[in-house]
Structure 1
Amino acid sequence: MQLDLTGKTALVTGSTGQLGRVIARTLASCGADLALHYINNETKALELKQEIEASGRQAVIVQGDITKQETAMQMRDQIQASLGVAGVDIVVANAVIQYEWTTVLEQSPEDYISQFESCVLQSVYLAKAFIPYMKEARGGRFIGINTECAMQNFETQSAYTAGKRGMDGLYRVLAKEVGEYQITVNQVAPGWTISDRDRNSEPGHDEGYTRTVPLKRRGEDQEIANAVAFLASDLSSFITGAYIPVNGGNVMPAI
């Protein structure tokens, strides 16, 4: 038994980011061809494209603001033309707008808008662009990157939490709307994850966080990508509407 995505095409938004690049590499290693979305870092996008092509998979880079519906439609058309496919089999909504966290009283209203746009509307636009093909194909995977923060509700998290909780509601409804077409809709919720930029950090700076984690460590970016690859594969064919924390048990959804 293995995660085999041979013959599948996957779109990863925010693929040049710390987590996005590992997700893209992992899906390619499972056999998928990749559409690599970026907003600003063209150099990293080209580097990732070359890396994936060197592994024997096809790749195309697509650029644009994921908070705009026209971007999603343009990406769809570009992917079809560049990769010669009728549509995308796997969508991973990973991109999110970054901003400075502060209290509700201090947080700019524009930050709440940006989080709604990048967490909720991004997925709405991706669904409108890519799910019609999945319906015709009677199958597909729609995966969103959420966060453990959506369950924690800690101080200064309000804009991020509001956006991700809105995303959670959207995904649960979408799962019910498209399930009859054998399209699954799921979310992966990382904790505070170790990525390339963290690997040279001072040891012990995360002790306050890991003290609360049952596994007593932070997760690795590869562990998040592994969960995404599982949800993208046929091994997850009867899982939909799920919010899956990948955080060592730091938050645990209850029944």
Structure 2
Amino acid sequence: MNIDLSGKTALITGATGQLGRVMARTLANCGADIVIHYHSNEEKAAQLKQEIEALGRSAFAVQADITDFASVLRMKDAIANRVDIVVANAVVQYQWTTVLEQPLEDYASQFDSCVLQSVHLAKAFVPGMIANKYGRMIGINTECAMQNFPGQSAYVAGKRGMDGIYRVLAKEVGEHRITVNQVAPGWTISDRDRENRTERNESYEKGVPLRRRGTDQEIANAVAFLASDLASFITGAYVPVNGGNVMPTI
């Protein structure tokens, strides 16, 4: 049983980031053509485009501000291919602190890049999926949305708002054979950790049932599964990929 995305085009927002690059390569290895969204790192986008093309897949790099609906619509217009899979991975980075100390603009940035990004992408790409009677919307959430630890408030607020959008959207578009799901990574090992030799963190790992941090490839594998027809009857799901560190209840 193989994950086969041949004939599909996948858009990944924030594709030049640590996790985005691995997801782009993974979906390409499964046969998908890739739309590489970037906000400011044009050089990394061009490099990733070359990598995807070396895998034998088509790749297209496009700049957009995912917090601006007009910019997202321009991105849609720039994409020549039909988009079958949308992975909402981009998020604004900021410094975490307590609710009392967190600047108000950080709450706005998380709302814009988590909630409004999800709405913008749905409005731009779901109508085409409805017309084709097929689509995959996949949001990258976080285990933090269930942890609610000190310092996480702006990030948690944005991601929990995103969760609401995705659950409602799943119910609204399911009749069109469109699935809407979320992958919730834990504290993930990326190339930055490998370069800095920071893969291990015992204080975090001891609380994880599998006693380790997950890898970027393991997150990308879950995204590829949800993007495939193997997951055709899964929608509205929040899927933690974190070794059991958080467990949704029934």
Runs of 4+ in 1 over 2 A off after TM superposition: 200-205
In structure 1, what residue type is equivalent to 2:113? S
**What corresponds to 2:103 in structure 1?**
108
Which of 232, 237, 241 is residue 232 of structure 2 equivalent to?
237
Render the CA deviation track for 1:163-204: whole Å, top value 9, x for unaligned. Answer: 000000110000000000010000000000000000133468
In structure 2, what residue type is equivalent to 1:69? F
The structural deviation recorded for 1:21 is 0.3
Where does 1:188-227 land on structure 2 (aligned, <5 Å)?
188-202=183-197, 206-227=201-222
**What corresponds to 2:67 in structure 1?**
67
Q: Supply the distance in 1 between the matched residues of 2:170 and 2:90 (Cα, whole angstroms).
A: 20
**TM-score under structure 2 normalisation?**
0.98
SS of 2:43's equivalent? helix
User: Matched residue pairs, number?
Assistant: 250
Question: Residues 207 and 90 of structure 1: is their aligned pair in 2 closer, same or farther, counting only changes over 3 Å?
Answer: same
- Please tell me whether residue 136 in structure 1 is matched to residue 115 in structure 2: no
SS of 1:248's equivalent? coil
The answer to whether the Cα contact below 8 Å between 2:185 and 2:242 also exists between their aligned partners in 1 is yes
Q: Supply the distance in 2 between the matched residues of 1:117 and 1:203 (Cα, whole angstroms).
A: 31
The structural deviation recorded for 1:64 is 1.5
**What corresponds to 1:247 in structure 2?**
242
Q: Supply the distance in 2 between the matched residues of 1:244 and 1:141 (Cα, whole angstroms).
A: 15
**What corresponds to 2:11 in structure 1?**
11
In structure 2, what residue type is equivalent to 1:236? A
SS of 1:72's equivalent? helix
In structure 2, what residue type is equivalent to 1:175? A
Q: Supply the distance in 2 between the matched residues of 1:103 and 1:205 (Cα, whole angstroms).
A: 26
Which of 156, 170, 177 is residue 182 of structure 1 equivalent to?
177
Render the CA deviation track for 1:92-143: whole Å, top value 9, x for unaligned. Answer: 0000000000000000110000000000000100000000010011010000
Where does 1:143-154 land on structure 2 (aligned, <5 Å)?
143-154=138-149
In structure 1, what residue type is equivalent to 2:111? F
Q: What do you get for the CA RMSD once the two structures are aligned?
A: 0.9
Instruction: Name structure 1 gaps, 5 residues minimum.
Output: none
In structure 1, what residue type is equivalent to 2:138? I
Q: Supply the distance in 2 between the matched residues of 1:201 and 1:254 (Cα, whole angstroms).
A: 36
The structural deviation recorded for 1:205 is 5.2
SS of 2:244's equivalent? coil
SS of 1:199's equivalent? helix
